[in-house]
Amino acid sequence: MEHAPFHMSLPCYSITKTKAFYVDVIGAELGRNSTRWLDVNLFGNQITFTKSGEFNFVFRAYKFGDTILPSFHFGVIVDPETWQNMYKKLNIPEYELTTEVTFLKDKTGEHRSFFILDPNGHSLEFKTFTDPNEMFAA
């Protein structure tokens, strides 16, 4: 199957803070935007943020192995070098960052992840696979 970028639309509290986080901090490219919404190019994927009020989900977390993860999250799968660079860049006191975790250690689909909260409370995951060919392996 051909690689197809994904599109996701998410609510946000502040267009200004969201733009600053994704463009200035993460390094995403700014796309079309207005005072009520913005598009960012996050590693070739289109994320649209629309200004809204409080957004609520009942089940906020789940357990995977020994780690509690946010139920509602999105992210990118990057190569190990990009993952390490992002981890170093974001692992500073200004941001709430989960500790690096390796999932499925020594099993099919082994990968490293960390999560960071954006200014809207959305959990953004950065993931890298030990073997990229195992991204969809059963």
- Residue 11 domain-assigned (yes or no): yes
Average of pLDDT values for 99-112?
90
Q: Is residue 130 part of a domain?
A: yes
Name the 3-class secondary structure at 127: strand
- Give the sign of the dihedral formed by CA 9, CA 96, CA 76, CA 20: positive
Q: Model-level pTM? A: 0.78
1 within a domain of the structure (yes/no):
no
CATH number at residue 51: 3.10.180.10
The answer to whether the beta carbons of residues 39 and 80 sit under 8 Å apart is no
Kindly report the backbone phi and psi dihedral angles of residue 33, in degrees, each rounded to the nearest multiple of 5, phi listed first. -165, 160
Which ranges of the chain does DSSP label H, i.e. alpha helix?
15-19, 80-90
Tell me the per-residue pLDDT of 12-49, one tens digit each, with 9 for 90 and over: 889 999 999 999 999 999 998 889 889 999 999 999 89
Domain span at residue 79 reads: 7-134
Determine the pLDDT at residue 21.
Answer: 97
